[in-house]
Every structure is written in structure tokens, then in C-alpha cells.
Amino acid sequence: MVAEQAKVDPMHQFTIEPLAGSGGWEIAGYNIAFTNSALWMLITTVVLFIFVLGGMKRELVPGRWQMTVETFTGFIDNMLEANIGKAGRKYVPYVFSLFMFILFANILGLMPLGVIGLHPFTFTSHFTVTGVLAIISFAIVLLVGFWKHGLHFFSLFVPHGTPLPMIPIIAPIEFISFMVRPFSLGLRLFVAMMAGHVLLEVLSSFVIDGTNAGILWSGVVGLPSFLLMIGICALELLVAGIQAYVFALLTSLYINDAENLH
């Protein structure tokens, strides 16, 4: 870094680079290069697989690992049952996958692996990724809604007890707010993750530049920034959990709309 004029670009961490000459891979004309983003999706999947595998011992008296995994499945199960009811149990596989995938991606992206030379990449800070996840959730809502209620699903846009003259005004508003859901869902996660990582990067550049500028600046800028960074790191871990939770919670709330209509 010092050799590169100590210029820290806080946005550089989000750059996607094809790995090991896969830049030319294509399917039907679309580029499918195996990028660092894809690598971290792979790592997330593998870590999550190992994590859940540890909970598959199926012992009657669970060990710590099994207990942890069961806590997560129980958490998702309870959330779906609280929001949707008994019918919510069939969405546990999807919402669990969604929650754990986002949670592990967020947390793995925060791991201080730069110390050993690896560069963590938080793919949830790309709206291409969060957008696809949001669209999947939204598509499930639409499919379930139209499957269960047919065209009656459109009555979702007319809240209970709306006076008849108000319907032409309320319905478009409800429709717009419904259509905004996938965007808000995807953007919320993307923005939260990106903002946190930019903040950490900016603070770390303060630490590095301040320390390089001599004892005085290291004491005035570097040290406070470093202390602040420790706090922000803890906050980011919290945000990683909260954003995964919010994504899963909103998905379950939207599915509830489709499942129970009102």
C-alpha cells in the first residue's frame, strides 16, 4: 500500500475480477466468468454446508454444534409460524436458506482474512446479487398468491374496510407500494452492506495515512480512528445479522400476504 502511494480507494473492494482466466466463459452469449464474487458465494455455500452438516448428528441429546444449528432452524421456524401460521412451515427451507446464505455472506465478508493475504468479498454489497434474491422472494409471493387465490389475489390492493369511493385512489397506491417491495428489499441489504464496508475502508485509510504521517497525526487521527473502527466492526457484525434477519422477516411477511391475503 505504501508503495502504491498509500492511496486507499474505498470502492476498490467491490471490484469484480474474473479468476484464473475464466473471463471468457460464456453461456448463450452471456458472460459467466468465475469471479471473486462467485468464489465467495462458493465459500459461503461450503461453510454453510459444513455448519449445517455439523447439526445433522441427529442425537437425542444435542451437542453444542447441533444445538446451534437447531437454534437457527427453530428461529426461522418460529418466525414463520408467528408471521404466517401453521402454513408457514413449508417455507422454512427457503427462508432458512435465504437467511443463512445472507448471514454467512455478510459475516464472511467481514472476516479479517486480509491478515493472511486473502481478500474477503462481500457479494451482498452488489445489487445484482441482492436484487436477484429479492426477485426470487417476490416471485414466490406472486406465485403463491396467484396459485392460492387466483385473480382474487388482486384484492390485496384493496385493504379491508376501504370505502367504495376511495378504492380508485387507494388501489394504485397499494399497487405501487407492492411493486416497490422487491426494490426496497434488495436495496436495503445492498446499501447497508456497502455503507458499512466503505466506512470501515475509509477509517482504515485514516489509520494508515495518519500513522504514516508521523507520531502527531498518528495520535490525533490514527489512534481515535482505530478505536472507532473496533466499535464500527462490532456494529457491522450486528448489521450483518440484522440485515439478514430483516430480509428473511420481510420475505416471510410478504409471503404471509400471499398466503393469508388479509
The C-alpha atoms of residue 225 and residue 203 are separated, in whole angstroms, by 6
Closest distance to other proteins from the beta carbon of 241 (Å): 18
Contact 45, 69 (CB under 8 A): no
CB-nearer residue toward other proteins: 34 or 157: 34
Binding flag, residue 37, other proteins (CB under 8 A): yes
Contact 55, 70 (CB under 8 A): yes
CB-nearer residue toward other proteins: 127 or 157: 127
Q: Which three cell numbers stand for residue 79?
A: 418466525
Name residues contacting other proteins, limited to 58-97 (CB under 8 A).
58-60, 62, 66, 69-70, 73-74, 77, 92-94, 96-97
Applying CB under 8 A, the span of 119-127, 138-146, 162-170, 225-233 interacting with other proteins comes to 119-127
Name residues contacting other proteins, limited to 3-32 (CB under 8 A).
11-12, 14-16, 18, 25, 27, 30-32
Closest distance to other proteins from the beta carbon of 76 (Å): 8
Name residues contacting other proteins, limited to 185-244 (CB under 8 A).
190, 194
CB-nearer residue toward other proteins: 193 or 258: 193
Residues that bind other proteins (CB under 8 A): 11-12, 14-16, 18, 25, 27, 30-35, 37-38, 41-42, 44-45, 48-49, 52-53, 55-56, 58-60, 62, 66, 69-70, 73-74, 77, 92-94, 96-97, 100-101, 123, 125-129, 132-133, 136, 190, 194
